[in-house]
A and B are shown apart, each in its own frame.
Chain A
Amino acid sequence: MRFRIYRYNPETDKEPYMKDYQLDNVSSDMMLLDALLLLKEKDPGLGFRRSCREGVCGSDGMNINGTNGLACITRLSDLKEPVELRPMPRLPVIRDLIVDMEQFYKQYRDVKPYLDVKDPLPEVELKQTPEERDQLDGLYECIMCGCCTTACPSFWWNPDKFLGPAALLQAARFLGDSRDQATDERLQALDDPFKLFRCHTIMNCVQVCPKGLNPTKAIGDIKKMMVKKSL
């Protein structure tokens, strides 16, 4: 199987280039990460992040034949040759497929992604009905891989002002939690021409999310909450 992989080590390379690789004996049940690990044994300088190998840690987000995804849960047999691998778009490249995700993490921190309960806490659990808990499904499972945000044109244009789909999904996760008591502050903090409203429902985020989540819907729900609040 043939691969073309983006290579760039600022220490030794003047500029980025695409390097061709060939891998023999590819079996039908192999994932892209399995192939990358084998290629790295031949070319140890090839840089990429990886850890869990099963799509829960979010380390190995990359651009695969033009679409963001996780290498560990992308089946080789589903990919057209040569498989072209690039770092996730719009973030600074540290080396090869490894990007500097600080901007992405900052957006996450900016939405205050933690439960805020103002009442005194009981000595047991806060109660939540199964229906209230169901509201968090599709929101809490995010693994922060960055696939959605770096696939979003609004993020490409305004990476420092628009919060991006991943951070906004987190905002929705806490706005949607029946236990959280900071709804007004959260909505107020998002009421800005850029942070939230630069989402133009292009829906790249939904298309690429490896966990099947829907940030666009979450953003829509936040907008609805804002409208309701202003009435």
Chain B
Amino acid sequence: MNIEDIPRRRFDALIIGAGGGGLRAALQLAEADASVAVVSKVFPTRSHTVAAQGGMNAALANVLPDNWHWHMFDTVKGSDYLGDQDAIEYMCRAAPKAVYEMEHFGVPFSRLDNGKIYQRPFGGQSQNFGGEQAARTCAAADRTGHAILHSLYQQNIRAKTHFFDEYFAVDLLKDEQGNILGAYVFDIHSGEELIIEAKTTLLATGGAGQLFRTTTNALINTGDGMGMALRAGMPLQDMEFFQFHPTGIAGRGMLITEGARGEGGYLVNAKGERFMERYAPSAKDLASRDVVSRSIYTEVKEGRGCGPEKDHVLLKLDHLPEDVLQSRLPGIRQTCITFLGIDPADQPIPVYPTAHYTMGGVPTNRHGQVVIPVKDTPEEPVTGLYAAGECACVSVHGANRLGGNSLLDILVFGRSAANHIIEYLKENRFHKVIDEKVIKQAYNRLHRWDTNSGDESVDDIRHELQKVMEENCGVFRTQDVLNNGVEEVSKLAERLKNASITDQSELFNTARVEALELENLMDVALATVYSAAARTESRGAHSRVDFTERDDKGWMRHTLYTSEERKLDYKPVRTKPMSVDSFPPKPRVY
């Protein structure tokens, strides 16, 4: 198709991604009578929100005493003081309402005898600013993400949201002033291209867990929105902070929810020892994820791993009553039976830290507006561009996300972004004119795969990238290893320019989709290794063997990586909350 003939459609708001963040925003916009288009490369209920298990945090105090301020303290501490305290206060205050809304939307939460929503203990939670364990995670058995995603999709059916299912977004579109004005997309079914002109665009494309070989993430989690943002000249923030979940099924990566430990499960090494007692004497198995992952890694490294290869530890659930397993953890029980042939009611589960969550992302403020440094201002909003959820960095998770805060993040900031968009639309009633050069660039990026005759293969490069990232950007890091990572990823990025695909069909061409995904993943990988190699301290999930201490004087600041010249910049952490006193950095002990 000629570039002039590509059809155009106009909407008030374009949402890219139909996971929990995108669907929550879409619902808010549809109910405000905005014309909203949701573009998703998979049918909405296939989005990776569906795989979230344990639950979402909110200080409802249904089980134990709680309040939002304690939740805020835990989140700030969990972030290793890299989280922005205004955004964290906003999220923790909004959490109870976000849960009640989801309940009203139909989410089948598990229940307590008094009819209220069931809440379970999760890692890093405390009462009274670091005291006794709290129970803050609202759960629908261990299928909370599924329940939330499906309920949100159902509410969007009611609200008659306009969906472009199985459309792939190639690039953002803008004018010469840099206002973001929609996206260049194509229909995966037919291959037909489409220009979506939108007054506002929300990125809600999720994380980039496919950076790593062993991951809890779905095959679709390729950092598409992050790649699009980078190519549009936006920075990515704090990409060195990648969460390794302590309990992926060893060697395979399937997630075993932290809720398994919340319900009373615990980890043991080859000697049968509850080793977390040594690393986190008070929180033990419910310490923060970065802490538990490092502990497991250390146990294995020091020869106390289980199995013939001594390469994992065991998660014990067999002491729990079977009805607890069946009512609270039925999903992971089935996963173990399917993939391991073992029933956790009888046998422990082999687990190992597994790539899980991208703490970094497109920098935003708490209204979901993408913010970038302009001259002396570190956070100038980009007109028309928003981001929410795992693809964004608002930053509520800082250097380490707490379990149960991810579903909360997508719902709170999906909603707040939509509310800001609604206000913006009142003031900005007309579409601006897209720069034709930018359309041409997107067109060329897509069609380069029609003509390229290079001899590199997309599959080979992806496999090598995942291996390089695993070996050079894992749980523990050193300068040499990180520098090697920078070098290796840079080489792969060069090779990608010579990759080609053999399938040139227009109809449901999955090879082409995978090639475009790999381009996104490569840009995100570069951001990750460059950011990581520069940070010479240990904070949260970024753990340096050669710089073992947190350095608040030198490094309590956010990293900003831009693709042009692969440049790094920094900006201060927002330590001032909205209304309460700031939590100053303290040693992080669990």
Chain A interface residues (CB < 8 Å from chain B): 9-12, 29, 31, 40-41, 44-45, 47-59, 73, 75, 94-95, 98, 100-101, 105, 109, 112-115, 117, 121, 123-130, 132-133, 136, 140-141, 143-144, 174, 177, 179
Please state if B51 and A56 are interface contacts (CB–CB under 8 Å). yes
Partner-binding segment picked from B39-47, B364-372, B559-567: B39-47
Please state if B42 and A125 are interface contacts (CB–CB under 8 Å). no
B22-62 vs A, Cβ < 8 Å mask (1 yes, 0 no): 00000000000000000000110111101100000000000
Partner-binding segment picked from B105-113, B353-361, B405-413: B105-113
Please state if B155 and A51 are interface contacts (CB–CB under 8 Å). no
Q: Which of B47, B108, B502, B507 contacts A140, CB < 8 Å? A: B108
Known A41-B459, A57-B51, A140-B108; contact A94-B45, beta-carbon cutoff 8 A: no
Nearest 8 A/B pairs, CB to CB: A115-B106, A127-B115, A114-B154, A44-B511, A57-B46, A125-B103, A51-B218, A95-B508
Please state if B45 and A133 are interface contacts (CB–CB under 8 Å). no
Chain A proximity of B365: nearest CB distance (Å): 28
Q: Does B301 contact A (CB under 8 A)?
A: no
**Chain A residues, CB < 8 A from B335:** 54-55
Q: Which of B42, B99, B106 contacts A114, CB < 8 Å? A: B106
Please state if A58 and B45 are interface contacts (CB–CB under 8 Å). yes
Q: Does B117 contact A (CB under 8 A)?
A: yes
For the A-B complex with A54-B338, A59-B43, A125-B100 known, give 12 more contacts whose Cβ atoms are closer than 8 Å.
A9-B507, A11-B506, A45-B503, A49-B42, A51-B42, A51-B48, A53-B219, A95-B507, A95-B508, A115-B151, A115-B154, A129-B115
Q: Does B521 contact A (CB under 8 A)?
A: no
**Chain B residues, CB < 8 A from A44:** 459, 501-503, 511
**Chain B residues, CB < 8 A from A144:** 43, 45
Please state if B108 and A52 are interface contacts (CB–CB under 8 Å). no
**Chain B residues, CB < 8 A from A126:** 103-104
Most buried by A among B45, B51, B117: B45
Distance A113 CA – B154 CA, assembled complex (angstroms): 6
Q: Which of A52, A109, A136, A179 contacts B157, CB < 8 Å? A: A109
Q: Does B143 contact A (CB under 8 A)?
A: yes
Distance A177 CA – B105 CA, assembled complex (angstroms): 12
B196-235 vs A, Cβ < 8 Å mask (1 yes, 0 no): 0000000000000000000000111000000000000000
Query: Nearest residue in A to B189 (C-beta to C-beta)?
Result: A94
**Chain B residues, CB < 8 A from A129:** 111, 113, 115
B158-177 vs A, Cβ < 8 Å mask (1 yes, 0 no): 10000000000000000000
Known A56-B146, A115-B105, A126-B103; contact A94-B508, beta-carbon cutoff 8 A: yes
Chain B proximity of A49: nearest CB distance (Å): 8
Q: Which of A11, A100, A128, A174 contacts B505, CB < 8 Å? A: A11
Distance A217 CA – B147 CA, assembled complex (angstroms): 21
Please state if A59 and B108 are interface contacts (CB–CB under 8 Å). no
Distance A105 CA – B511 CA, assembled complex (angstroms): 26
**Chain B residues, CB < 8 A from A50:** 219
Chain A proximity of B251: nearest CB distance (Å): 9
Please state if B109 and A125 are interface contacts (CB–CB under 8 Å). yes
Q: Which of B51, B100, B108 contacts A136, CB < 8 Å? A: B108
Please state if A125 and B503 are interface contacts (CB–CB under 8 Å). no
A–B complex contacts, Cβ < 8 Å, 7 sampled: A41-B459, A44-B502, A48-B510, A57-B51, A114-B105, A140-B140, A177-B106
Chain A proximity of B468: nearest CB distance (Å): 19
Distance A11 CA – B503 CA, assembled complex (angstroms): 12
Please state if A9 and B505 are interface contacts (CB–CB under 8 Å). yes
Query: Nearest residue in B to A45 (C-beta to C-beta)?
Result: B503
